Each structure stands twice: as structure tokens, then as C-alpha cells.
């Protein structure tokens, strides 16, 4: 039996549905998808086989939940899948502690966590691979050479929280005082491109599906279109090998006026826009389920370019009694 554990499912209803479909199609009878979230009203909890309200990520109590779910017996297998940047460091640590053939984590190693979580280290990593990156500065090495307009954000953070453009040194100084451990970067223009870099649980390259972001709301892509770039795929192969990537991650880049790309960020988790990659022909959740079961998976998927995605809101209705039951549920 296979248990897929989706951490911090939140609003990822499409991904939850894809995992449920893949498990039912490919895994032995009795297999299940478990969804975890701090909030009992997280919509995606209503679309998994076993919803669980859990303590906050980063706490010892959350770690105990993961350890309990990893306590599998009798040939069963469990796969942990992070869906939030906040989980990466703790899951990487737990992976080092708990991983064995029947307990799998789709997460980078603890050694790679600083590279993906600290944007200054991300820039140094890209530079070590010879990839174009935005000019970057941090207070520790001096901000005298910052050119404007610039962009400032926390070195550790996601979804654009605490990020803003700064037009002059007055705005820069004000933002530096307000942000804990900031990084200042060249303000990039051009289209932002996100690539779902799909690797198997051993780090083998499966696919790199790029999408041009058309509209983003609260850090989540709402409209996008698939595109093909040999430059991005080549860079992603090098990124995957150097980290190394374990399971799917995303890579952010900006297209420049000459058609080249400047690489800006890595998110070491399955991207929220990955349903577009699945629709374009790369069955990410199928690959992860097959791999977790120890079966041979196809490598090197192609995909459909110029496929558009547009998203909408949908309501989920839950009774108070059902919410109370969910909040009281224990492993």
C-alpha cells in the first residue's frame, strides 16, 4: 500500500485531485492520499482521502506528525511531498533522519537547503553554473553600488511577501530598516518564466516544462502559457544535477529583450502552476507515484507548447460538525 502525504495542501485542489487520481490508477488497493494543513478550512483538505489538521510547520509537534506517518510496516510505502517553501528545511532534516526504501521524501538534501531558501546563496549558485543572474547586494557586503530602480525583498521568503521596488536611496534605506535580512537586486523587466523542473526521487531528469506567466495573484499564477526554450532546458539540467534536485522543483527566470534569460529564483517544491505542465503532457503525479512504488518510470517527456491556462475560483461548503470532527481527528 502507498500513502502519499501532501504537506500544507492549502488551496492546491487541482494537485490534490491529480494525486488522488494517480494513486487510484497506479497504486495497490488501499493506497491513499493524506493532506496536511494547519487550517481546517483549507479547501484542498476536502479533496484528499485522509485530511489532517496539524501543528504549524517548523515545530517539534509537526515533526512528530511526520514521524508517525513515516512509521510504515509490512511492505507499505509512504511519500512526503512539500507544497510550501516553509516546509523545505524541516522536511529535508526529517528526510535525513527517516528516509529508507519504504519512506521517501520529494525534497532536496539538507546541504542544498541554503541554496534554495536564501536568495543570496541562490545567486551565488547560479553564478557558479555560469548562468546570468540579476546584480545583487546585501548589507553585509555594502549597498553603495546599488543602481536604481532596484528591487528589495527578504533573503528568505516566498510569494512576494515583503518585496517592493525602490526608486532611490531614501526608499532603499527605509526598506532596509524594515526588512530582516534583505537582499537588493537589479529590477528585472521582461516576461517572467517559471519552469517546472521534474526529477525523479533519485535525481534523474524527467522534464522541464516552461510557462510564461501572464497574470499572478498573491504569488499564485492565474494565467500562463507553455513555451519552449533550449536555453532554459539546458540550464535546468545543470541546476538539477548540481543541487541535486529530488522530485519536482521550479526555476524562475526573466526573458530579456534579446531573447536570453536571467535566472532569479529556485523553489524546491512542486509548483502551484504545475497542473499546466500536466495538461501539456508531463504526468508529474503519475511519475511520482510510480517512482515511489519502485517501478521503472519513463524519462524525458516532451510537452505541448502554446497551451494556455486560465484559472477560476470555486467554493467548497463544509458543515460545522464536519469541521469540528476534522479538528479533533488524530493519527
Residues 193-210 have pLDDT tens digits of 999 999 999 999 999 999
Indicate the CATH number for domain 135-186.
Answer: 3.30.1490.20
The whole-number pLDDT of residue 261 equals 98
For 7, 21, 53, 303, the CA distances from 316, given in Å and listed in that order, are: 20, 19, 17, 32
CATH superfamily for domain 2-115+190-328: ATP-grasp fold, B domain (3.30.470.20)
3-state SS assignment for residue 175: helix
What pLDDT does 74 receive?
82
What value does the mean pLDDT take over residues 19-39? 98
**Per residue in 147-192, pLDDT tens?**
999 999 999 977 667 789 999 999 999 999 999 999 999 999 999 9
Q: What are the angstrom distances between the C-alpha of 23 and each of 51, 57, 69, 115, 325?
A: 16, 25, 17, 32, 25
pLDDT averaged over the chain? 95
Residues of the chain with CATH 3.30.470.20: 2-115+190-328
User: Residue 94: is it exposed, middle or buried by C-beta count within 10 angstroms (0-12/13-18/19+)?
Assistant: buried
Angle, to 10 degrees, between the axis of helix 284-292 and the axis of helix 13-26?
Answer: 50
Q: Once rounded to an integer, what is the mean pLDDT over residues 135-151?
A: 92
Q: Where in the chain is the domain with CATH 3.30.1490.20?
A: 135-186
Amino acid at each position: 500500500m502507498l500513502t502519499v502525504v501532501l504537506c500544507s495542501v492549502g488551496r492546491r485542489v487541482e494537485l490534490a485531485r491529480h494525486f488522488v487520481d494517480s494513486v487510484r490508477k497506479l497504486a495497490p488497493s488501499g493506497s491513499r492520499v493524506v493532506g496536511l494543513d494547519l487550517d481546517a478550512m483549507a479547501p484542498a483538505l476536502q479533496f484528499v482521502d485522509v485530511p489532517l489538521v496539524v501543528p504549524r510547520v517548523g515545530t517539534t509537534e509537526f515533526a512528530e506528525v511526520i514521524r508517525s506517518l513515516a512509521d510504515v510496516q509490512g511492505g507499505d510505502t509512504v511519500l512526503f511531498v512539500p507544497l510550501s517553501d516553509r516546509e523545505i528545511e524541516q522536511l529535508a532534516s526529517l528526510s535525513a533522519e527517516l528516509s529508507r526504501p519504504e519512506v521517501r521524501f520529494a525534497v532536496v538534501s539538507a546541504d542544498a537547503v541554503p541554496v534554495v531558501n536564501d536568495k543570496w546563496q541562490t545567486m551565488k549558485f547560479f553564478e557558479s553554473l555560469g548562468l546570468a543572474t540579476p546584480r545583487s547586494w546585501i548589507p553585509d557586503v555594502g549597498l553603495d553600488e546599488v543602481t536604481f530602480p532596484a528591487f528589495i525583498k527578504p533573503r528568505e521568503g516566498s510569494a512576494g511577501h515583503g518585496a517592493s521596488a525602490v526608486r532611490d536611496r531614501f526608499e532603499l534605506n527605509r526598506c532596509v530598516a524594515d526588512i530582516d535580512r534583505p537582499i537588493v537586486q537589479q529590477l528585472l523587466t521582461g516576461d517572467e518564466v517559471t519552469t517546472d523542473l521534474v526529477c525523479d526521487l533519485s535525481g534523474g531528469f524527467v522534464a522541464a516544462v516552461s510557462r510564461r506567466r501572464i497574470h499572478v495573484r498573491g504569488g499564485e499564477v492565474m494565467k500562463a502559457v507553455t513555451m519552449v526554450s533550449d536555453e532554459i532546458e539546458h540550464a535546468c539540467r545543470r541546476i538539477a544535477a548540481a543541487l541535486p534536485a529530488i522530485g519536482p522543483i521550479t526555476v524562475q527566470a526573466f526573458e530579456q529583450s534579446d531573447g536570453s534569460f536571467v535566472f532569479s529564483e529556485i523553489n524546491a517544491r512542486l509548483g502551484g502552476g504545475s497542473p499546466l505542465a500536466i495538461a501539456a503532457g508531463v504526468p508529474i503525479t503519475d511519475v511520482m507515484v510510480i517512482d515511489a512504488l519502485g517501478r521503472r518510470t519513463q524519462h524525458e517527456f516532451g510537452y505541448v507548447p502554446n497551451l494556455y491556462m486560465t484559472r477560476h475560483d470555486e467554493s467548497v461548503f463544509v458543515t460545522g460538525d464536519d469541521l469540528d470532527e476534522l479538528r479533533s481527528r488524530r493519527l
